[in-house]
Structure 1
């Protein structure tokens, strides 16, 4: 995107922006925006089509600001981060964050916000009204209708599941949806090389993912949403390729209603990591 901007190539510039929008969660979590200039970063932050949490977006912005501070020989702290960001700070949609998330950011970056900005944001969180703050509160379209259909009730999670073979799960939906990705069980602070696919649609994605230190699950997203039709069974396959032992849960639900869409699950033919039922596929991320 930055090269397209430098060489005034509007077509490549637009395609680069669309790529970032379509892969925004991966890009934000990988902090790949740090090589952009301020103009391009600003354009990305103005986009309503980013499908990533505002916390991940801010983390990417913070990584960008850290690099700029280092380039300028500045200590990485709240006031200097604000200095290098300038008005870019006002493109982060802090009102979309949960209150505890914003408070944590403020405490970790003392001096990033003025006292007046902090007060207006916190009051806005209480009243759910942000007209008096300079930070935008409009939801990004890419995150509006995305949800997760979970197969388990979290009543019987246990550790010690090894990943010697793939898990396969068949599912059908009561109305057409786009499958965005899956949620898999893993082990905190562990790294997995993952293949996830929908066999009938020849859709496969490969990702290397590190599980957060406080989490038992992780997300794997397809390169773009995969449309599935109502009433047809699809086979979801997840292969963690002999990754570290992690968590599992027994007794997956056979039917779950999510956002008025009924997901029906059944075990796919063949083995599931030497068991009769798939236990590592925790949920399906979808949009309507």
Structure 2
């Protein structure tokens, strides 16, 4: 009987003018599936009209809601899931709403985290809001540089740029706010001048922690933009150099950022006179977490025969696809501690999937190595499993070798 005129006793005119759709339905089916529909048809304020107008729900979303009520089927698509979430909340269909949130979580990434945050706040969905903040906090620069960032509303913009736990250079926040203001001017069909962009930002501009930038960053960035007044630029320059600093309208304390977690997979560290050696070969290990994490880098062992400089090429991949790669140097002072090498941006790793961590080191051949490796480690509530990787050509495995630590956010 879904979307069928046969025996239908009510019709819905769904959507706004120009894109409306007339959808047949059956009051009994809707009433037993939704308390809102029950009240609509049987309550004190029951609708007695043959046609009911619903201008705030998209036709495809309303049909997805009806399909669930009639057939117990969840049919979601990327372009309709948000409107369907709205419809399921409006008509109090909790299972469908939860299915929408789960669908969104599986597709959540830095590319859509900001715009989904805006939508989750609108729908008052705490779980989705929390997941969006996880991505934005861990991958702040990527999230702020994504195309969708300029489409958020002013309330969401303020929430993001005022957040204490953002892990990002403040210049990135300033540039993102500038791009948003320009896009807002274009949406309102006004010239994107400095005055108009300031007007669009309003007091959101004063949430940016401009004085926490390096002097050179400020001079080449905000000071050269058209967002700040001459008086503000002079005051901030004076603030950088004066002993008695002037009062500023911008916050002067750095953001706290996130604290990285370190998963150590070995119970002991050792060295021998004839190993561990580096000759351009790859050390590699596979891992899987039970919750979403963001890999920021690896802890690596250094020289066991005195101070030495290393160049490390680190890589994170999944099913043979490289997700991130970085080459960086580090100095080993000859002790057995680990040395962290970081990716430019943390990499999102989904739960229940194996990823491959690899490292190729160039430096003093003899180094420390790990022993008594664990196949499962619980770190700050996250369970991480390890298994050997076929990419490892230098002896690293679960029981011993290199890559003793995964550094991550969650």
TM-score, normalised to structure 1's length?
A: 0.55
Unaligned runs of 5+ in 1: 147-165, 172-177, 183-194, 210-217, 225-234, 240-249, 256-262, 271-283
Match for residue 316 of structure 2 among 197, 210, 213 = 197
Q: State the partner residue of 1:269.
A: 393
Question: What is the alpha-carbon distance in structure 2 between the residues aligned to residue 144 and residue 127 of structure 1?
Answer: 32
Match for residue 323 of structure 2 among 206, 211, 215 = 206
* Paired residues for 1:199-238 under 5 Å: 206=323, 219-223=344-348, 236-237=357-358
Match for residue 105 of structure 1 among 197, 205, 221 = 221
Match for residue 125 of structure 1 among 240, 258, 264 = 240
Question: What is the alpha-carbon distance in structure 2 between the residues aligned to residue 127 and residue 145 of structure 1?
Answer: 35
Q: Secondary structure at the match of 2:323?
A: strand
Match for residue 191 of structure 2 among 56, 66, 75 = 75
CA RMSD of aligned residues (A): 4.4
Unaligned runs of 5+ in 2: 1-116, 262-279, 286-293, 299-313, 327-342, 350-355, 370-391, 395-404
Change in 2 beyond 3 A, CA 1:285/1:107: farther
Q: State the partner residue of 1:43.
A: 159
Deviation at 1:286, TM superposition (A): 6.1
C-alpha distance after superposition, 1:172-228 (max 9, x if no partner)? xxxxxx96138xxxxxxxxxxxx93289xx9x972599xxxxxxxx8242227xxxx
C-alpha distance after superposition, 1:241-271 (max 9, x if no partner)? xxxxxxxxx954679xxxxxxx979xx735x
Change in 2 beyond 3 A, CA 1:251/1:23: closer
Match for residue 17 of structure 1 among 106, 130, 133 = 133
Q: Retained in 2: the 8 A contact 1:196–1:238?
A: yes
Tell me the matched-pair count: 200
Question: What is the alpha-carbon distance in structure 1 between the residues aligned to residue 197 and residue 364 of structure 2?
Answer: 47
Question: What is the alpha-carbon distance in structure 1 between the residues aligned to residue 217 and residue 225 of structure 2?
Answer: 12
Deviation at 1:236, TM superposition (A): 4.5
* Paired residues for 1:244-255 under 5 Å: 252=363
Q: Secondary structure at the match of 1:55?
A: helix
Question: What is the alpha-carbon distance in structure 2 between the residues aligned to residue 33 and residue 59 of structure 1?
Answer: 12
Question: What is the alpha-carbon distance in structure 1 between the residues aligned to residue 141 and residue 281 of structure 2?
Answer: 25
Change in 2 beyond 3 A, CA 1:82/1:128: farther
Question: What is the alpha-carbon distance in structure 1 between the residues aligned to residue 240 and residue 224 of structure 2?
Answer: 19
Q: State the partner residue of 1:54.
A: 170
* Paired residues for 1:130-145 under 5 Å: 132-142=247-257
Q: State the partner residue of 1:26.
A: 142
Question: What is the alpha-carbon distance in structure 2 between the residues aligned to residue 143 and residue 130 of structure 1?
Answer: 29
In our comparison, the structure showing a higher alpha carbon Rg is: 2
Question: What is the alpha-carbon distance in structure 2 between the residues aligned to residue 14 and residue 67 of structure 1?
Answer: 26
Change in 2 beyond 3 A, CA 1:97/1:253: farther
Change in 2 beyond 3 A, CA 1:128/1:100: farther
TM-score, normalised to structure 2's length?
A: 0.40
Question: What is the alpha-carbon distance in structure 1 between the residues aligned to residue 283 and residue 245 of structure 2?
Answer: 44
Change in 2 beyond 3 A, CA 1:287/1:14: closer
2:226 equivalent to 1:115: no
Deviation at 1:26, TM superposition (A): 1.7
Q: Secondary structure at the match of 1:141?
A: coil
Question: What is the alpha-carbon distance in structure 1 between the residues aligned to residue 147 and residue 406 of structure 2?
Answer: 22
Q: State the partner residue of 1:168.
A: 282
Deviation at 1:48, TM superposition (A): 0.8
